[in-house]
Amino acid sequence: MILSPAERSYLYDSLSQKPPIRPGARSDHQFRPLEAKTSFLPNSNGSARIRLNDGSECMISVKSKVVVTKSVTNLIDVDIDVAGFRDDSNFVSNLKYNLTSLLITNFPSQYLKLTSKYSFKLFIDCIVISHSSYPLSLISLATYLALKTTRLPLLVSEVNDEEIEEQPTFSDDWDNAKYLDEAFEPPIFITLGVIGTNLLFDPSIEEEQVLENGLIVSFYKDNVITPISNINLATNSNNSNFKGLNQKLIIESINLCNKYCPAIIKALNTLTEQDDEGDDDHIF
């Protein structure tokens, strides 16, 4: 997995060509093929699993709980568990920070509002079973699928419970459960590798080792949004190529994401629709 100096130099040279020559014959804006499955956890409101060809795999569960709106600071709680890493390690903490920050600032909380007093709180649990490259975009794509297929039970009691002391009650029939919103497209993260003046979407583990810098860009409702930040993706190498980047590349990355991300969202939506038709609950 770790490249030798000769391999690194070869890969660096081919990636800094214009256009870059990527391993696997991908073009610069192309994602690696992925395989996904949704709604396989009967105990959760929504679930999704994404797997890449290199064996990287991530599972998301979305669970809901009814809370008194005033008693909580936020209606979304994100937890990430990466196999082989401690929960308080820098790696896991930063994944968690990024995902929380993305969802909290962009999630339309009106979808979770139940009555004037009560709301749903969503617990998004993420397990990264195995990964080779930086798993943030993998996690966020899986979260997209899980939120897209999340269903919440139908409220049957009064919406206006300002005067009433009762707790909300729900329909017993799971078939009545509603999706968050048909049109809702959750925000996602895209990781970009910077090498020379090239920007590479979704760098693989080999590419990460020769990158000069990395960018994390978020995308929601057909537009690039914040948070935007840079990151050192080349942690597996000894950072020999790591350097600063040109300001212009940030603007370019935003334009590229605006151009290509709608296709990603479209692909994910098609995937959930196809998964709906297939009627099996099996994970594999």
Partner 1 sequence: MDRRRLLGPLNTIIPNIGISSNPNDIKPDTTIDNDEVSANQIQNFFLKTGIIENANGSAYLEVGNSIIEVSVFGPRPIRGSFVDRASFSVECKFLPYITQPGEQIYNTTNQFNNGNSNTNANGRTGLTTIEQRISAYVETALLPSIILEKYPKSTFDIFITIISTEEGVNNNDEDDDNSAPNEQLLRLTNWIVNCSSVALVDASVELKDIVTSGIVKTTSDGKVIFDPRSQGNEEEEQEEGSVIGVASFMNLRNDELVGIWIERQGAINVGDTEMNNILDGCNEMSKKIRANINTYLANSLE
Partner 2 sequence: MSRMEIYSPEGLRLDGRRWNELRRFESKINTHPNSSDGSSYVEQGNTKVICMVQGPMEPSSRSQADSTKATIEVNLSVASFSTFERKKRSKSEKRMVELKATLERTFEQSVMCHLYPRTLIQVDVTVLAQDGGLLASVTNAITLALIDAGIAMYDYVSCISVGLYDQTPLLDLNGLEEKDISTLTIGVIGKTEKLALLMLEDKIPLDNLESILGIAIAATHRLRDLMDDEVRKHGNVRASKLAKN
Contact positions toward partner 1, by CB under 8 A? Answer: 73-74, 77, 79, 87-90, 93-94, 96-97, 100-101, 104-106, 108, 215, 220-221, 223-232, 238-240, 242-247, 250-251, 254-255
Nearer to partner 1, 114 or 124 (CB): 124
Prior bond to 227 cis, omega within 30?
Answer: yes
Nearer to partner 1, 136 or 271 (CB): 136
**Residue 42 binding result from partner 2, partner 1, none, given CB thresholds of 5 to 8 Å by partner type:** partner 2
**Residue 174 binding result from partner 2, partner 1, none, given CB thresholds of 5 to 8 Å by partner type:** none
Query: Pick from 123, 179, 242, 260: which binds partner 2 (CB under 8 A)?
Result: 123
Least separation, in Å, of the C-beta of 238 and partner 1? Answer: 5
Phi, psi of 188 (to 5 degrees): -130, 165
What strands lie across the sheet with 57-68, from one edge to the other? 34-38, 46-52, 57-68, 118-130, 76-82
Residue 115 has which token pair? Answer: 């009555």
33 near partner 2 (CB under 8 A): no
What DSSP string describes 99-151? Answer: HHHHHHHHS-GGGGB-SSSEEEEEEEEEEEEE-SS-THHHHHHHHHHHHHT-E
Containing 185, the helix (H) or strand (E) segment is none
Non-local (6+) Cβ contacts of 69 within 8 A are 75, 113, 117, 118, 119
Nearer to partner 2, 60 or 265 (CB): 60
Calculate the CA dihedral of residues 237, 238, 241, 244 and round it to 10 degrees. Answer: 110
Nearer to partner 1, 177 or 250 (CB): 250
Fill in the amino acid letter for 208: E
- In a 3-state reduction of DSSP, which class is residue 259? helix
**Residue 244 binding result from partner 1, partner 2, none, given CB thresholds of 5 to 8 Å by partner type:** partner 1
Least separation, in Å, of the C-beta of 46 and partner 2? Answer: 11
Q: Which residue has the tokens 């151009």?
A: 259
129 near partner 2 (CB under 8 A): yes
* Dist CA 150 CA 122 (whole Å): 10
Each residue 44-63 as x (binds partner 2 by CB under 8 A) or -, in order, gives x--------xxxxx-x-x-x
Least separation, in Å, of the C-beta of 125 and partner 2? Answer: 5
Residues that bind partner 2 (CB under 8 A): 41-44, 53-57, 59, 61, 63, 65, 79, 81, 83, 123, 125, 127, 129-130, 283-284
